[in-house]
Chain A
Amino acid sequence: MLSRFDRLEVLGASQLDLGDRTYAITPPWFPLEQLSTSIRKTGIINPLHVEPVNGGQHRIICGFRRAQAAIDAGLEDLPCWVRRKCGRSDLFVESILDNVGSRPLHELEKASAVAKLIEDFGISRQKVLEEYLPLLGIRPTAFHLQRYLDIDQLPEQLKRAMVDSRLELDTALVIAHWTQAEQQTFLGLQSHFKLNVNTQKKLTELLDELRRKTGLSATQIWEQAIGEGDPGSSKSPSAALEQALHSLLRLRMPTLSELEDQYRELKVALRLPPEVRLRPPAYFEGDRLTVSFSAASAGEFREAAERLRAAANTKEMEEIFGLL
């Protein structure tokens, strides 16, 4: 909170130490275009908060992005509140409040705030959990506290991908345990196939569980899966992805895949017309086969019923029930 000891001053850009990121929670590579455009038009409306350090330099408390955007826009003088006689942790909390009050924070910024409160400013985990997680819009549980500390530890390439190419947070947390080369493979897939949220989740889960199960790298597993399709074919990216996901699923679930193959073969052998549909229970859990058919006339109905009766008396039908 500002006090009578604080002064509003106009400082030259060279008086600000942009490299001192003690109080920063936003990575320096976050995009600034919108803010730069705004500052070019209107200048800095809300002064920065800074504290004096040795040699006439000043450390930024609030306004890292504003300062950088102003300098990018060619501004030489910046309005600043020069803060005095404040504890460091109080100033950091102020900077968090300033950010929370002015815009929605990115998960990476929240994570940085949580980690700095504990690691740099010595605030106890319990206090962070009870007082600061709710302030940041995070559920105050030990699980969530740890989750945000883990997010802060993500490698920079994954953090950048979360901002630049829509890498999902949960995906990043899983592949953070992979080698850098494996992470590169995944980021390459993300960029090539433009994976949506669900596909990212599915692909990450399959690759992660297979690499743990087989001891192979995610890259090797992916290459094996993509190689199982026809390498010479000129499939569309989405068809190639679908084929690879199918191959991965077969590797992950061999017994289930075999069961599905057997069922498919037996169903074909029944030679039922397309308007008669058989459906086994999901994942073959259960013992009932669902049959449905449609007919536009009594004749069609009789025809379908007769084909079903004929199918019911085949050994293939017995074998299908044997699979359930």
Chain B
Amino acid sequence: MKDNIILRVEDIHKKYGKTEVLSGISFEVRKGDTKVFIGSSGTGKSTLLRCINQLTVPDSGKIWLHGEEVTHSQKSINYFRQRIGMVFQNFNLFDHLTAVKNVEIALIKVKKLNKKQAREKAMEELVRVGLKEQADLYPAELSGGQAQRVSIARALAMEPDIMLFDEPTSALDPELTGEVLAVMKDLSRNGMTMLVVTHEMGFACSVANEIIFMEKGKILESGPPSKLIREPRFERTKQFLCKLGELYGDIGR
């Protein structure tokens, strides 16, 4: 059972000035898990994801990837980052590179593949997200949904052990949201381990094995979607789910 654990997060704390954004977060992720983080803005969900690959350095606490400590590790953080894919709310594609070159560049510079290998791998990933035709377009020529799928391909090309999604559809309209979620659902079903910050409850209900509700830098409660949504233990969780329901219609039933 234990060797199935890919990621362990232990008592993470993070302060910005006087405000404590994360106050003691701990959880474990098993291979193939999809965990969805929900909670109102400012509760530290994005900060938490960024702590996992150390884009934000936590004040205290430990993070382990496959039993190797990511925080204060002897190994270069860049070694771990290759194994932790990340997808951002604003895509953050490299604007001066075509779609295929966006996927290629880290393969060439970080993984040290030669150009031909990198091109093959990049095309493979673009095909996987359904963007073979768009390979030679620049980010500014792509729709938001296409851009986000390129950024997913870019992360996947590194063959990560785990993928972090930081509100991947928040900048997209409903139609485009659908095409991105479809790619993510596929990934999840094919066994990718994923941590997703999102308020797309339809997605959460259909693929997550755990929903984690965060409040004021802490995990208030967590559980499988069916349980957490039908019978939340805390009034606060219920309120929040109600608000989501008002916005998006009844969820998960």
Indicate whether A and B interact. Answer: no
A positions within 8 Å CB-CB of B: none
B positions within 8 Å CB-CB of A: none
